[in-house]
Amino acid sequence: MFKLPDLCSKPSPYQLTIGNIAPERLLVVVADYHRLGLDADLPAVDPAELGLSPQALPKRIRERLASILLLESIRGFEKLRIGRRDDGSPYIVDIPELHISIAHSATHCALALSTHPVGIDIENNSPKLQRVASKFLTASEMQWLVTPVQFLQAWTIKEAVYKLFHPLHLPLHNIEITVATPAEATVEITPPGTRSSHSLTAYSHRLNETTLLTAALS
């Protein structure tokens, strides 16, 4: 019988603790492509074996290989496979009741496993986030989220929450950050076509000066 705490007691070398989320609820592994041996020439691989089209770009192949290697780094998961639903969301083929979320940045890959629905995002800081801030921040958020670091955190929060509620296809303006510290934020979700909202907490973790990871649980 699968139990998430059993995995947490035998940590992967890439395991990361996120906020104050109890270990029986969330397991996160993250590594840069260099540590995974994927920053140079990619191994010869048939994209179809990875569930990709024959025309898949090297970037996409690297990302898919990285997610496979991260899953294999978790003890007991070495032979398990990641499948894709029709909407593109991932799942563990042999443990479909386990929730999984995968994220990639230009330098890192992150994978989250949970007994609850989960969303995760990882991103490198970029001036582009400031230029497009109005496309993903609400008017209220634009009043107090003003620094590059805050833009980065807001983007990863909204992407993580979007993945968490992926069947709803939430517009990013329907995901509003009401309170935020560098480590966590309170987020209000308003599903399309409704006036009611509910809140959740998203947890952020800075990997280095330019890379931030955020996880959100329902």
Q: How does pLDDT run across 49-79, given as a tens digit for each residue?
A: 888 888 888 898 899 999 999 999 998 888 8
- Considering the domain architecture, whether residues 105 and 156 belong to the same structural domain is answered as no
How confident is residue 20, by pLDDT bands cut at 50, 70 and 90?
confident
Query: Of 116, 143, 158, which closes a domain?
Result: 116
CA-to-CA distance for 104 and 159, rounded, in angstroms?
12
How confident is residue 23, by pLDDT bands cut at 50, 70 and 90?
confident
- Which tokens hold the place of 183? 């480590």
User: pTM score, two decimals?
Assistant: 0.92
How confident is residue 140, by pLDDT bands cut at 50, 70 and 90?
very high
Residues 6+ apart with CB under 8 A from 182: 149, 153, 204, 206
Q: What is the CATH number of the domain that holds 89?
A: 3.90.470
Query: Of 50, 81, 116, which closes a domain?
Result: 116
Per DSSP, 12 falls in state -
Tell me which residue range forms the domain holding 26: 4-116
